[in-house]
Amino acid sequence: MRIDILTILPDLLQGPFSESIMKRAQERELLTLEIHNIRDYSQNKHKKVDDTQYGGGAGMVMTVQPIVDLIEKLQSERSYDEIIFMTPDGEVLEQELSNDLSLKENLIILCGHYKGIDERIREHFITKEISIGSYVLTGGELAACVLVDSIVRLIPGVINDETSALTDSFQDNLLSPPVYTKPADYKGMKVPDVLLSGNFAKIDKWREEKAMERTRERRPDLLE
């Protein structure tokens, strides 16, 4: 899979994509990730990427030219399955959307800033608009990190224990049961006996019950 991220703050994205799972996915050549600085494509002599709104109003708007030139350059090199715009008024990200996107070949993710981007970019180039929840972030970069992380961990071979992505909370609309590791007794705080019993039928049943109990208590909406 290849993901191209378009941003005015490339440094904000370098860190998260150079660690842990993202690093491993790229080292294993399961993911090609390119971060593009929109400013590099500005034809303005001051490398401007935003301007005031027509009709008046506070806040700058990202201009068409640098973003469209960058998108068209990428499209001349390969075809893209989706051109995604990260925006608080987009479709709210859920596991199913990450699952769908993890099956794609080539994605562009555009990070918005300021008051937004010129609507003509959305009308003519963007194929999907995604929000990560009902709150406002300063820009789309952190949201893009969340989206990419949720997609990349689903690519086969990225996570070492390949069953673990499938047993995540939400994959079956249930939260995960509690987990424990050694020692079995830490200063009197004990691991439930059933997990030490060696009876795997009983252990599976306990986990199912705990997952259901936790979901009922914390996220009853998932059971509807």
Among residues 3, 49, 70, 88, the one that binds ligand 6GU under rule CB under 6 A = 88
Among residues 143, 148, 154, 158, the one that binds ligand 6GU under rule CB under 6 A = 143
Measured from the CB atom, is 77 or 89 closer to ligand 6GU? Answer: 89
Taking CB under 6 A as the binding criterion, the range among 16-24, 86-94, 169-177, 190-198 that sits at the site for ligand 6GU is 86-94
Taking CB under 6 A as the binding criterion, the range among 26-34, 83-91, 97-105, 174-182 that sits at the site for ligand 6GU is 83-91
Applying CB under 6 A, does 59 fall inside the site for ligand 6GU? no
d(CA 150, CA 145): 9
Give the H/E segment covering residue 111: strand 106-111
**Residues 3, 35 contacting (CB under 8 angstroms):** no
Among residues 7, 106, 131, 215, the one that binds ligand 6GU under rule CB under 6 A = 131
Closest CA to 74 of 13, 43, 129, 32: 32
Closest CA to 121 of 198, 49, 169: 49
Taking CB under 6 A as the binding criterion, the range among 49-57, 68-76, 120-128, 131-139 that sits at the site for ligand 6GU is 131-139
- Give the end-to-end CA distance of the chain in Å, rounded to a whole number: 34
Measured from the CB atom, is 149 or 172 closer to ligand 6GU? Answer: 149
**Residues 117, 110 contacting (CB under 8 angstroms):** yes
CA 50, distance to chain mean position in Å, is 25
Applying CB under 6 A, does 133 fall inside the site for ligand 6GU? yes
**175 secondary structure, DSSP code:** P
Among residues 86, 126, 152, 174, the one that binds ligand 6GU under rule CB under 6 A = 86
Give the H/E segment covering residue 186: strand 185-186
Q: Which residues bind ligand 6GU (CB under 6 A)?
A: 86-88, 131-133, 135-137, 139-140, 143
